[in-house]
Amino acid sequence: MLASACRTLLARGLPAVKASPLTAPALCAAAQRLTYQETSRVFTSSTFAAQLAEPAKAPELAKAPEPAKAPEASSAPLDEKPFVEADAENVVMHPSMARSEMHPPADDQPTLGNPASAGGKFADSYMLMHPVYTKEYVEGVRATHKPPVKIHEKVGYYGVQLLRRAFDAATGYGSEMNERKWLARFLYLETVAGVPGMVSGMLRHLRSLRTMQRDNGWIHTLLEEAENERMHLLTFMQLRQPGILFRAAVLGGQAFFFNFYCIAYTLSPKSCHAFVGYLEEEATKTYTRAIQDLDDGKLPQWTHLTAPDIGKKYWRLAPDATMRDLLLAVRADEACHMHVNHTFSHLDKDAPNPFQPGSVHVP
Ligand SMILES: [Fe+2]
Ligand SMILES: [Fe+2]
């Protein structure tokens, strides 16, 4: 019965939900009986989130709606405001980015270059998000650097520099790179890059459970980052299958890094987010150099290579998208991770997450 009531409220639009006398727990229980898409509509609505965040205002929100405005509410688009208001000055939503889960494409037709359908997740996918970029946007991404000032930033910065130099020396990274070397580097680094988001999301989830307090919205952004990095890995896996030694190195690296990051994040979340911010700076530099090598004709096997299908579907690339288009999209993802983690490294752990679910935010 509650599920039915919730469906009715959804059908009438979010203003109706806002004005409903039902309590938030009751809506939660009802939403559990809904389909995935219906549930997503409930939990991604900022109005519903506002109800949960501000229980003191519940009586005011529960005022009966004006009958004359009901038809207008049923046809009005859902509120697209952020989950919580962004308070960090440097958090700006790029004009080409917008959530589009309420207006998904009818099929897997490419949406590259169509700002109206950029970002967010689609009803035809179980993925947490599908970053979709315009051509102009990905071409404009540049490797940037945030000078470390505070102690936790210096810990993150010098930690990354130390690891990068050791990794470069161990893998023979240098001026002579070919397609095979680039792919080995991408594959290994992506197996590492997918760890921090999942670990920090898991630790914040556990903290929320044991303290019985809200997380304030960070978990979804961290899990989106982890999934995004894993999609980088799975896309490059379509181009090269690693051997047993490579897989053993991944196993050893994960055993070390997972435990290291768990302990480090427990001790100093800010240092860990700064670490990931600087790690993503290096990732953006690496993909920028790979794109430059491609443009300079140093990677002839990739010049006319079509991007793997899994990548074309994930980033909603055109059917004839090339390896260059793929690298541009991956670089844009890394730049977004950089911005997100540098921002998190300056926020108190109990501060609201300024990033909207399913969207990409860049400076
Ligand atoms: Fe990545
Ligand atoms: Fe990344």
Distance 229 CA to ligand 1 centre (A): 4
In our burial notation (b when 16+ CB lie closer than 10 A, e otherwise), range 86-99 reads: beeeebebbebbbb
Distance 232 CA to ligand 1 centre (A): 5
| pLDDT at 361 (0 to 100) | 59
Contact 254, 191 (CB under 8 A): yes
Percentage helix, strand, coil for the chain under 3-state DSSP, each rounded to 5: 60, 0, 40
- Rounded Cα gap, residues 205 and 214, in angstroms: 9
Contact 78, 28 (CB under 8 A): no
Give how far Cα 312 sits from Cα of 108, 113, 158, 280, 318, Å: 10, 14, 36, 23, 7
| pLDDT at 362 (0 to 100) | 65
**Residues having C-beta closer than 5 Å to ion ligand 1:** 190, 193, 229, 232
Distance 41 CA to ligand 1 centre (A): 29
Structural domains of the chain ordered from first start: 2-75 (no CATH), 115-344 (1.20.1260.140)
Distance 116 CA to ligand 2 centre (A): 25
pTM of the model: 0.70
| pLDDT at 122 (0 to 100) | 76
How many CA atoms, within 13 angstroms, populate the side-chain half-sphere of residue 111? 27
| pLDDT at 286 (0 to 100) | 96
Give how far Cα 246 sits from Cα of 55, 252, 253, 316, Å: 52, 10, 10, 30
Averaged over successive runs of 10 residues, the pLDDT of the chain (363 residues) comes to 46 42 42 40 37 39 39 37 40 40 38 45 82 92 95 97 94 91 96 98 98 95 96 97 96 97 98 98 97 97 96 95 97 95 95 83 61
